[in-house]
Homo-oligomer: A and B are copies of this chain.
Amino acid sequence: MASVDRTLVADLPLFAGLAPEQLDELLREAQSVRYPKGMTVFQQDAEAHSFFVLLHGHLRVYKLTPDGQQVVVRFVSAGEVFGVAMAIGRTTYPATAVAVVDSIALVWPSVAWPRLIAKHPTLAVNTLQTVGSRLQDAHARVVEMSTEQVERRIAHALLRLAQQSGRKVEAGVEIDFPISRQDVAEMTGTTLHTVSRVLSAWEDRGFVAGGRQKITILEPHRLFVLAEGGLP
């Protein structure tokens, strides 16, 4: 299998502080894999055979409750590490990851992880930062769900999505992958009905523009004020 070009990934946070030769060495062990839209990259509770870096595309990561409800944990964008179950001491994946658009990822076997971090401790340090920032995101979400009501939670979710995966477009900022009202509902702990109602109201006020699996934020500042509890 042809090795991946170093320049494609040299700037990723995961590889910060690694010498070019070290990076080449890492990449030599990775495979580049295509995941067509809709394909499952890994499944909750399945054995964590691999860990990944997303090169291109977007993934939807969600947890399934015993009674069949889904909760969206996050969306993965290009450049991010994901599926690092082994690194955090798990043998199975804690969630399911599905490609929401055609995607490409670098794939390492999980068994290589202990050896790789032993040789390149920087990897562990960088992963610690990544996991740490996810922990902060998760805590922020807990705080939001504990103290804010639905409208503000949806505003926060949209702003976070725009920041992570926003694409600037003439009218404003558009989430650059297909996202449904149901998805937003599963990110904010509400129902698609409520999300639809809230977005419709915002659309009337000119804050956002909707569409089938599409959301464009027209007035980010107004939305921000709303998220922080103001009365825009």
Contact = CB atoms under 8 A, between A and B. Distances in A.
Interface of A: 63, 65-67, 69, 71, 73, 87-90, 94-95, 117-118, 121, 124-125, 127-129, 131-136, 138-139, 141-143, 145-147, 186, 188-189, 228-229
A94 B137 CA distance: 11
Contacts of A139: 63, 73, 94-95, 138
A133 B90 CA distance: 9
A88 B129 contact: yes
Contacts of A128: 87-88, 124, 127-128, 131
A67 B143 CA distance: 12
A215 to B, nearest CB: 20
Nearest to A85: B132
B88 A131 contact: yes
A88 B228 CA distance: 26
Contacts of A124: 121, 124-125, 128
Given A125-B124, A142-B142, A135 B88 contact: yes
Given A71-B147, A124-B125, A134-B135, 16 more contacts: A67-B147, A71-B146, A88-B131, A94-B139, A95-B139, A128-B131, A131-B132, A131-B135, A138-B138, A138-B141, A145-B145, A145-B146, A145-B189, A146-B186, A146-B188, A146-B189
A132 B67 contact: no
A226 to B, nearest CB: 14
Given A138-B135, A139-B94, A186-B146, A89 B228 contact: no
B189 A133 contact: no
A141 B143 contact: no
B127 A117 contact: no
Contacts of A136: 88, 90, 94
Contacts of A146: 69, 71, 145, 186, 188-189
A151 to B, nearest CB: 15
A146 B71 CA distance: 7
Nearest to A143: B71
